Copies of this chain bind each other. A is one copy, B any other.
């Protein structure tokens, strides 16, 4: 007895395509997946049949049968930071042409939330995973390990374990900012840090070391808060800093929105930039080039990071052996504020 299942989606199945093409379902499957063992003429027949029926493979069935999906999971700490949006776009541009769907997860700078996202996503057996940085919970690392799913870390570099990573040295970037300010003759240098994620701390570390070597490091000028980075916060912190330490003559900000806020606050306070204080931002976010004065910043290669990370992942999926670390560097963009 033949029953038309009410559960069916109504969409044509591989079976129907195969029937129309006069081959077995498995041959149709192979043909459509581009598996070389199928005769070219059969491939053509199957393609035509699929085309005429409007066949689209059922991802659930495919995932169930093969126990792996056509998705790649990307976990970022924030979507409010324009930085990661640009990285995500680049990732999608690369993976989309390979037929991979990109699933975005935002863990709001919380490793615990990242762990939850990872757990939720792993049950779907993604083809690959792209993570931001190396600051994951032990459970996250464990899950990644046992899942065996290819993973690439973005934004930071790390030579431990041979983990695949695409990024740049956050510490060197911080050092570069310090060198630049010193080169401008600045001596009372502050670091202004919000969010305090690992990369912010690394930049601060690089900045500190250079100042220490120069004998100019003053812990009192290290402003840090766990609050989220924002323009408003940058203004507040900058005003307070100048109030408490009027002799400050240079500030490195962990992110451009802080620097933008500081520049605007300086306008209000009548503090001359860069004459009295030099400002150096980080990431070179969209608005920075248009501030008054235009902000000096360290441009980070976020699109390139996304693109290369996605490419490395594809290489992993294709079994291509490649160097685990990709250093994309960064670029100091000198404008009017320093």
Interface residues of A (CB under 8 A from B): 7-9, 11, 56-61, 63-67, 69, 79-80, 82, 85, 88-89, 92, 101, 103-104, 106, 120, 123-125, 230-232, 235, 257, 260-261, 264-265, 267-268, 286-287, 289-292
Closest to A290 in B: B231
CA A120 – CA B100 in complex, angstroms?
A: 11
Taking the full assembly, how many copies of this chain does it contain?
Answer: 2
Residues of chain B within 8 A of A59, CB atoms compared: 60, 123-124
Residues of chain B within 8 A of A235, CB atoms compared: 290
Contact A287 B267 (CB under 8 A): no
Residues of chain B within 8 A of A65, CB atoms compared: 7
Closest to A104 in B: B104
CA A89 – CA B113 in complex, angstroms?
A: 14
Residues of chain B within 8 A of A104, CB atoms compared: 104
Of B8, B82, B267, B290, the residue contacting A261 (CB under 8 A) is: B290
Say how far A19's CB is from chain B's closest CB, in angstroms: 21
Of B79, B123, B257, B265, the residue contacting A79 (CB under 8 A) is: B79
Residues of chain B within 8 A of A290, CB atoms compared: 231-232, 235, 261, 264-265
Contact A264 B286 (CB under 8 A): no
Known A-B contacts: A231-B290, A264-B290, A287-B287. Give 7 more (CB < 8 A): A9-B125, A59-B124, A60-B61, A64-B64, A79-B89, A89-B106, A265-B290
